[in-house]
Structure 1
Amino acid sequence: MNKRQARLFAIGSTVVASLAFLGLTIDSHRQFPKLTNAQNITPAVTHGKDVWHKNNCINCHTLFGEGAYYAPDLTKIAQHRGAAYLQAYLKDPSKFYDEQRHRRLMPKQDMTDVEIADLVSFLDWVSKVDNQGWPPRPILVTGSGIGPMGAPRPIEGTAGSAPLPGAATPAGDKSPIALGEIVFKTSTPACAACHSLVPGAQMAGPSLAGVATRAQQTIGSADYKGQAKDATTYLHESIVQPSAHTVAGAMYSASGVSFMPATYGKDLTPEQIDQLVAYLATFK
């Protein structure tokens, strides 16, 4: 290739690349309203964004992977935790942690109820933006670290694909227990996003280590408010009616309403719920 051919090739390549970039840019802007749920940007969402910036949340947290990395990415936090949990947490984060055990906590921002509600609306809007599955969730925890906003803090490479302790489930096993483990990890939202299976590793929900034994103890307690008669039906009740029994003073409910989503009874089939119960019943 002589100099003239090389120059023409460079010019042609630049033109083609520029046209491709321009076309992709135009196509991206064409899709932005749909991908970002622009129709759902209410005054509350806009004000919530202002609250986010006013309190410098980005100095510790990230959205869509952008921001500081001291604390967890909050892109999908509204889906993983729910509005009730986030509102209670933002009102007083200290109630959700033991500072001596979990080291530095998220500071109390002293926001008004309106600011908190609108910030949650903003995070809810963010969680529904089509971000093509990034950042990946859930982060599975096999240790006791807990990060701000109730999200798990990964411990030495345990994020993502780390196996969870529990009943052995050989590859290809189609037993109810094995299928229940799959439901535990892949339901929406995933149980593993809020519950650890490690003793003492409290996340947005309590550790489920020993949950079958605790279930039997709970239904035998005078304080039990539900309708279950044994550990299995208690586990079933806890999944489909999480507010049937709550523990006063615990950080997982407020005013008798559990922070756990009450949608699993509709989102999971009866067979999936039975499989999940069979899996959880192995943790004694």
Structure 2
Amino acid sequence: MNKRQARYFAIGSTLLATLVFLGLTIDSHRQFPKLTNAQNITPEVTLGKNVWHKNNCINCHTIFGEGAYYAPDLTKIAQQRGAPYLRAFLKDPSKFYDEQRHRRLMPQQDLSDADIDGLIAFLDWVSKVDNQDWPPRPIMVTGLGAAGGNAASPAAAAGSAAAATASDKNPVALGERVFRSAAPACTACHSLTPGADMAGPSLAGIATRTQETLASPNYKGSATDLATYIRESITHPSAHLVAGAMYSANGVSFMPNTYQKDLTPEQLAHLAAYLATFK
């Protein structure tokens, strides 16, 4: 290829790339109203967006892959937590994160009730945007993995290894799969490390704690043994509330109450079998 041919090739390639870029840009803008549910942008959502920008939330948080990574990604937070949790958190973040334990503390923004409602509406709208499954998973900020090193019992560890086998029928191994793949994933809120409470309490030692809970006169649920208690906690999280202001508000648990319809009876049984191994 001589210099003249190379020049024509470069010019032609640039023009072609430009046309492709413009075409993709036009196609993206054509799809924006449908992908973003633009018809659902209410004045309250707009107020929430303004609150988000005014308080520089993006300096710590991320939505749609844009922002900082010091604090959790909030793209799907409204689906993972729900309005009661978000409202209580925004009113007093110090109840949820301890600077000594987590090495971070969300600043108190002193938001009005109207601003909080608007911000929740904005985050709810964001969570329903068709973002092509991005981000692919919640971003953890505590530095504590869900597995928690040696937190898993030998039975759970054996189940995890067996899970790699396509023919595996071990309920514990199947339960571990549910624990990590349910929507929202249990790992988004619960650690398996002793004392490492996140948005929800650590599940390390749940079997031992359950026996104490069932024997306590303060227990309000209807479970009679470990398996039924775990199932009740998953399907009816408000039946018995774990002590601690950060897990509930006004008698309602922050844990999603959708697992009863989202998980099959078999999946619930497997999940209970897996969690029962944490003594």
TM-score normalised by L of structure 1: 0.89
Task: Determine the structure 1 residue equivalent to 2:48.
Answer: 48
- 1:212 alignment partner AA: A
- 1:101 alignment partner AA: R
Shift of 1:67: 1.9
* CA distance 1:58–1:25, shift in 2 (3 Å): same
Task: Determine the structure 1 residue equivalent to 2:269.
Answer: 274
- Which of residues 142, 146, 155 is equivalent to 1:153? 142
Check whether the contact 2:61–2:74 (CA below 8 A) recurs between aligned residues.
yes
Shift of 1:163: 10
Higher helix proportion (structure 1 or 2): 2
- The answer on 1:165 being equivalent to 2:152 is yes
Moved more, 74-83 or 85-94: 74-83
In 2: Cα distance, 1:78 partner to 1:174 partner: 35
Check whether the contact 2:223–2:232 (CA below 8 A) recurs between aligned residues.
yes
Q: Percent identity at matched positions? A: 74
Moved more, 78-87 or 44-53: 78-87
Instruction: Name structure 1 gaps, 5 residues minimum.
Output: 140-150
* CA distance 1:3–1:206, shift in 2 (3 Å): same
Shift of 1:86: 0.9
Task: Determine the structure 2 residue equivalent to 1:3.
Answer: 3
In 1: Cα distance, 2:172 partner to 2:265 partner: 15
* CA distance 1:249–1:118, shift in 2 (3 Å): same
Check whether the contact 1:72–1:153 (CA below 8 A) recurs between aligned residues.
no
In 2: Cα distance, 1:256 partner to 1:246 partner: 8
In 1: Cα distance, 2:150 partner to 2:261 partner: 28
Task: Determine the structure 2 residue equivalent to 1:38.
Answer: 38
- The answer on 1:192 being equivalent to 2:187 is yes
- The answer on 1:128 being equivalent to 2:128 is yes
Shift of 1:103: 3.0
RMSD: 2.0
Alignment of 1:55-134 (within 5 A): 55-134=55-134
- Which of residues 222, 245, 252 is equivalent to 2:247? 252
- 2:233 alignment partner AA: S
- The answer on 1:239 being equivalent to 2:234 is yes
Alignment of 1:170-249 (within 5 A): 170=162, 171-172=164-165, 173-249=168-244
In 1: Cα distance, 2:28 partner to 2:41 partner: 19
